[in-house]
Amino acid sequence: MKCPKCGYDGCQIISETQTKGKDYSVGKGCCGALFLQSWFGLLCGFCGEGKKTTTRNFWICHNCGHKFKA
């Protein structure tokens, strides 16, 4: 994979895990919605479910350190 920033051809894929929902409340849900600018955070706050783990894959450039979505 080539880096879109510097063109270096040697990017490595990494997985980033985010955990959401720990001690979640409606208030936090609202804050989350504001920060994420998404209704998704608000929805999670309201349903009040436990932990939610999201795994995302990113490419990382070893030349310039640029990180971009897979």
Chain residues in the site for Zn ion (CB under 5 A): 3, 5-6, 8, 61, 63-64, 66
Nearer to Zn ion, 46 or 68 (CB): 68
CB 52 to Zn ion: min, Å: 32
8 A C-beta contact, residue 23 and residue 32: no
How far is residue 6's CA from residue 22's CA, in Å, rounded to a whole number?
38
Nearer to Zn ion, 7 or 48 (CB): 7
CB 66 to Zn ion: min, Å: 4
Phi-psi region of 33 (alpha: psi -120 to 50; beta: other; left: phi over 0): alpha
Nearer to Zn ion, 14 or 36 (CB): 14
